[in-house]
Amino acid sequence: MATLLLFFLLAVSVVSADEDAFIGVNIGTDLSDMPSPTQVVALLKAQSIRHIRLYDADRALLLALANTGIQVTVSVPNEQLLGIGQSNATAANWVARNVIAHVPATNITAIAVGSEVLTALPNAAPVLVSALKFIHSALVASNLDSQIKVSTPHSSSIILDSFPPSQAFFNRSWDPVMVPLLKFLQSTGSYLMLNVYPYYDYMQSNGVIPLDYALFRPLPPNKEAVDANTLLHYTNVFDAVVDAAYFAMSYANVTNVPIVVTESGWPSKGDTSEPDATLENANTYNSNLIRHVLNNTGTPKHPGIAVSTYIYELYNEDLRPSSVSEKNWGLFDANGLPVYILHLTGAGTVLANDTTNQTFCVAKSGSDSKMLQAALDWACGPGKVDCSPLLQGQSCYDPNTVVAHATYAFNAYFQHMAKSSGTCDFKGVATITTTDPSHGSCRFPGSAGKNGTLINGTSLAPSSNSTSSGCLSLYFGGGGSFTNSVIMGVLLFSVVLL
């Protein structure tokens, strides 16, 4: 019975597939050295970023964005929500000043009304839907409603029981807001805005969610999460949260509202209590996220349906209060230098500072050290590699290990041979990677030479050590008492304890 009902819901769920997914970037401005609007726009152009979201409707930035073609989501800040939600005239005024004044030169395509209002500013929740409606009617009055969508970003924590996704529902306390909100989104052809943070889900799961599952890294098939109701396989937290939102909407009888992820990302630095906020993890998450989104992979529930996503965020915001990680979600520093270089092979043109054509030859991890030494000797001898940076006192002497020195020499040879095929083998002890092995002052041939963006690793192989224990469940009984997407992981892996 339940299965039949589910099947029916799946079958009637129709989310339009006519658009390609895009990657956008959020622009927070809490920097002590905030770049000027012209500098911001220059960075966006250099990086081929075509979609952005602002947390306000800053006039100078909107002016600088004119005639760039960049598509902009502007926001009504939470502080202005009460006024707008209580007065049609205030809303119309806001739209006149912050939107009508800028279009069509600046391509404003959406208005985000508030930010995580239900969880961050619950006392404004009663006027949230009015605020959306007032803003929308001002757009209708100016004939802008077909090109500018109105919605409001939600924290994924309003979705309860989010694993298995097929059992997810919106916190019923918010029905008086969510039900009319979803009807509004449906009737205006808008979309559900959702913030999806696998980093927090992972952090708060106390080790129950494997890091690989949060980072979109391959899991052994027996560790994939399977939704027992739908038999859909989940290979990453992001998809599971998005599908939970689709299911939560369908339980509210709304099946044709698409989802746009308004925020997702991973911090590149944290304090001692945040050991997984690292450059490498941030790079892995965002690189995999971008590839996943731009591939139009969709989710298990809606394969091939665009889930456009805005990365959180463009700049590291050093003035953000609280934890170290809070200040380190950015892709760039205030000078516009990338914090790390994304691995975007095959992901198209967004974010030009990628490593698409940057490949390196490194010692294969676990290789026999005698074979490495022999290959190193060959490269620096008959191979004619300039191995002088490996001499004591020179830039690549440290670390003084055969693996590190062989990596340097293999790569120099590979680059010198124009990366032609067969030149990164060395009898099987070498392998190609897209991770720049440069470190400190030791610059590897072929490196774009960005500072502070490099990791030590000599292997890109997906980590196979998993933090989870044992095999994954097909069991998702009970439910009901679990609360949010964090708990998802607990359910996910609870079978181990059962």
Positions touching ligand NAG (CB under 6 A) are: 43, 46, 69, 71, 88, 92, 104, 107, 109, 122, 134, 137-138, 141, 160, 171, 173, 179, 252-253, 278-280, 291-292, 295, 297, 336-337, 352-353, 356-357, 441, 451, 455-456, 483-484
Distance of CA 212 to the CA centre of its chain: 14
Q: Compare residues 46 and 496 and give the one whose CB is closer to ligand NAG.
A: 46
**Residue 261 beta carbon to ligand NAG: minimum distance, rounded to whole angstroms:** 15
Contact call for residues 180 and 218 (beta carbons, < 8 A): no
Residue 198 class from Cβ within 10 Å (0-12 exposed, 13-18 middle, 19+ buried)?
buried
Q: Compare residues 414 and 426 and give the one whose CB is closer to ligand NAG.
A: 414
Residues 6+ apart with CB under 8 A from 229: 2, 3, 6, 164, 166, 167, 476
Contact call for residues 376 and 436 (beta carbons, < 8 A): no
Contact call for residues 362 and 469 (beta carbons, < 8 A): no
Q: Compare residues 109 and 467 and give the one whose CB is closer to ligand NAG.
A: 109
Q: How far apart are CA 238 and CA 179, in angstroms?
A: 24
**Residue 89 beta carbon to ligand NAG: minimum distance, rounded to whole angstroms:** 7
Active site residue 79: no
**Residue 422 beta carbon to ligand NAG: minimum distance, rounded to whole angstroms:** 19
Tokens 């041939």 locate to: 445
Q: Compare residues 242 and 379 and give the one whose CB is closer to ligand NAG.
A: 242
Q: Compare residues 401 and 469 and give the one whose CB is closer to ligand NAG.
A: 401
Q: Which residue intervals of 191-300 are DSSP H helices?
A: 198-204, 211-214, 237-251, 279-294
Question: Active site residue: 79, 224, 263, 313, which one?
Answer: 263
Q: Compare residues 75 and 157 and give the one whose CB is closer to ligand NAG.
A: 157
**Residue 386 beta carbon to ligand NAG: minimum distance, rounded to whole angstroms:** 19
Helix, strand, coil percentages, rounded to 5, for the chain: 35, 15, 50
Distance of CA 104 to the CA centre of its chain: 29
Bridge pairing between strands 107-113 and 430-433: unpaired
Q: Compare residues 172 and 392 and give the one whose CB is closer to ligand NAG.
A: 172
**Residue 119 beta carbon to ligand NAG: minimum distance, rounded to whole angstroms:** 7
Question: Active site residue: 19, 116, 280, 317, which one?
Answer: 116
346 three-class SS: coil
Residues 6+ apart with CB under 8 A from 206: none
Bridge pairing between strands 159-160 and 169-170: antiparallel
Residue type at position 16 = S
Catalytic residues: 116, 263
